[in-house]
Amino acid sequence: MNAGLICLIFVAFLVVMVLLSAIKIIPEYERAVIFRLGRLMGPREPGVVFVVPIIDRLIRVDTRVITMDVPAQEVITLDNVTIKVNAVLYFYVVNPQQAVTKVMDYVRASMQIAQTTLRSVIGQVELDQLLAHREQLNEKLQKIIDEQTEPWGVKVTIVEIKDVELPQGMQRAMAKQAEAEREKRAKIIHAQGEYDASKMLGEAANVISREPIALQLRYLQTLTEIAVEKNSTILFPIPIDTIKAFMDMSAAGGLNGAAHSGEPGTTDGSSRLTEKLS
For the chain, the structural domain boundaries read: 2-62, 66-166, 168-210, 217-256
User: pLDDT at position 145, please?
Assistant: 94
Q: Is the dihedral of CA 123, 124, 129, 130 positive or negative?
A: negative
CATH architecture of 66-166: 2-Layer Sandwich (3.30)
For the beta sheet containing 66-76, the strands, ordered from the edge strand earlier in sequence to the opposite edge, are: 66-76, 82-93, 154-165
CA separation (Å) from 128 to 68, 174, 263?
Answer: 27, 10, 93
Q: What is the pTM of this model?
A: 0.61
Distance of CA 252 to the CA centre of its chain: 75
- State the pairing for strand pair 66-76/82-93: antiparallel
Eight-class DSSP state of 153? T
Q: Where are the alpha helices (DSSP H) in the chain?
A: 2-22, 96-101, 106-122, 127-132, 134-149, 168-210, 213-228, 240-277
The residue among 34, 35, 27 whose CA lies nearest residue 62 is 27
Q: Mean pLDDT, to the nearest integer, of 111-116?
A: 92
208 has a pLDDT exceeding 60: yes
Run of H or E residues at 56: strand 56-62
108 has a pLDDT exceeding 80: yes
265 has a pLDDT exceeding 80: no
User: pLDDT at position 151, please?
Assistant: 93
User: pLDDT at position 158, please?
Assistant: 93
For helices 240-277 and 213-228, give the axis angle rounded to 10 degrees.
100
Q: Mean pLDDT, to the nearest integer, of 230-248?
A: 61
User: pLDDT at position 176, please?
Assistant: 81
User: pLDDT at position 275, please?
Assistant: 45
In angstroms, the CA 247 to CA 173 distance is 68
Mean pLDDT of the chain: 80
Q: Which residues pair with 91 in a beta bridge?
A: 66, 156
269 has a pLDDT exceeding 90: no
